[in-house]
Amino acid sequence: MENQFSNRIDLNELGQKTAQVRQQIATYLVGHRQLTDLLLIALLADGHVLIEGVPGVAKTLTAKLLARTIDADFKRIQFTPDLMPADITGTSVFNAKSHDFEFRKGPLFANIVLTDEINRSPAKTQAALFEAMEERQVTVDGVTHKLEDPFMVLATQNPVEHEGTYRLPEAQLDRFLFKVLVGYPSLEDENTMLTNFHRSEGKIDLSKVLPVLSRGKIAELKAVSGKIIVEDHLITYMAQIVHATRKNPSLFLGASPRASLALLNSSKACACLQNRDFVTPDDIKYVAFPVLRHRIMLTPEKEMEGIQTDTVIQQIIDKVDIPR
């Protein structure tokens, strides 16, 4: 134990950079601090994020703002029922001059990819996206094309109750590190938003958002996050939480081992944001909800009763004791 803490990690630069990102986003958004923090955690943990909320709660704007704080390639894809896999991955086009086919990259070939309303597209197109998310590569006409690092997908979706939406398969949802729920703003936040919008005469100029992180710097910060100290009893605590989802009578489907890895990586990144070089139980509890809520499935009986997955996650956290 003493050896673990003998070489402390310098988190000053990471703290400064993340504070600058928060500040830039907060200039344009009111009341989305938790969403901003979870996006930063996912960036450090090298994961993808699914953002769910009703239309008009700034899901897309938040993703755009994060992308603009990073000096990297950014692409946006609007998912529609007629979107085809080649529309996002790219396609081979015949070149009359060279008398050969050449590959033209699609919008997936970017560092930050915003996919709007992902649950409005057909399954075949979703599958092409999830291959890129999992393998960090795209295969077209039997040829594999590597994606550049960093590669992060920020997907937005409306709740499945809305017309024209389709539930994403659980196996594909598992590729997302987080599922973040965005609700309506509080009365105070909405009042502040209206006041700011009125004073700016209804103009939102995102060109003033300055890049804070370069691609190289992101790689450095990810390396720092990976070195965060996690004591053995906290690793056991994470495993017990995930294992409990598989035995809970309210759940038809428990979390996979990928959830355990997501819990570990995101807990370390969460500690980084708190300027700590070690993980605490509170870090694990904080990220447990976005890590698990899309990886577990309620029984039909519990769904009919109106039970929410977050309620079950809270019950599991309350029951699992922290090992000493």
Query: Considering just the CA atoms, what is the radius of gyration of the chain in Å?
Result: 21
Provide the pLDDT for residue 280. 95
B/e letters for 225-238, b = 16+ CB within 10 Å, e = fewer, are: beebbbeeebbebb
Residue found under tokens 């990144």: 269
CATH class of 13-214: alpha beta
Element (H, E) at 300: helix 300-304
Domain layout of the chain by residue ranges:
13-214, 228-324
Q: What is the pTM of this model?
A: 0.90
Check if the beta carbon of residue 280 is closer than 8 Å to that of residue 288. Answer: no
Q: How far is it, in rounded angstroms, from Cα 233 to Cα 132?
A: 35
Provide the pLDDT for residue 121. 83
Query: Low-confidence residues of the chain, pLDDT below 70?
Result: 1-7, 160-166, 202
Q: How far is it, in rounded angstroms, from Cα 194 to Cα 77?
A: 29
Instruction: Please count the residues of the chain.
Output: 324
Instruction: Give 228-324's CATH code, choosing from 1.10.8.80, 1.10.10.10, 2.60.40.420, 1.10.760.10.
Output: 1.10.8.80
Question: Do the domains 228-324 and 13-214 match in fold?
Answer: no
Check if the beta carbon of residue 44 is closer than 8 Å to that of residue 225. Answer: yes
Provide the pLDDT for residue 255. 94
* SS3 label, residue 49: strand
Bridge partner list, 101: 94
Provide the pLDDT for residue 158. 79
Nearest to 155 by CA among 183, 138, 176: 176
Provide the pLDDT for residue 162. 58
